Amino acid sequence: MEIKNQSIELIDKTYFSQNDYVKMSNCMIKCIDLTGCFELDTEIIIENCVINEFNIHSCWFVKGLTLRCCVVNGYIDYQMGGHNDVSLIFDENIFTDFFNFFDCEFNAPVIFTNNIVLEGTNLLGNIGEGYENRFNAGWNAKNNLGALNLSCKV
């Protein structure tokens, strides 16, 4: 399923429940709310979009997530996430607020490249804490502006 050049109020799990593949490009999206989806068995690609709210608490992107060339406004809370069998790719995005990766376990690599993180992230932070992120297949983080190794922000 491909969604192009749309202005969308809400993207939720109903968009992904019947599709193995969803690509959104050149869209203005008010809210993506995938909170608590757990095992989301859809390959998701989001490119060249402006997203005002991105809610992914407890979401497991089993078939991967690619977020490329997007602007994401607002705080992102990604707790207890990961559990992905395909890479999570964040490339050439602008995140205007803190991006909270908290107690995530990633089975496939996480690629975090060429992003601007204005308020930072704890993707590589919380070192030594019980809720430090786990990268079972490694990570690649390069050419980013903004701190990637902050402690949890409350």
Tell me: the pLDDT tens digits for 79-115? 888 788 899 999 999 999 999 998 889 999 999 999 9
pLDDT of residue 143 exceeding 80: yes
**Torsion angles phi and psi, residue 124, rounded to 5:** -110, 15
Task: Name the DSSP letter for residue 29.
Answer: E
In sequence order, the 6+-apart residues with CB closer than 8 A to the CB of 14 are none
Task: For 31-74, write each residue's pLDDT tens digit.
Answer: 999 987 778 889 999 999 999 999 999 988 999 999 999 999 99
Distance (Å) of CA 54 to CA 73, 95, 129, 147: 8, 10, 25, 20
Write down the domain spans for the chain.
Answer: 2-142
How many other C-beta atoms can be found within 10 angstroms of the C-beta atom of residue 77?
Answer: 17
Q: Region 131-135: what's the mean pLDDT?
A: 89
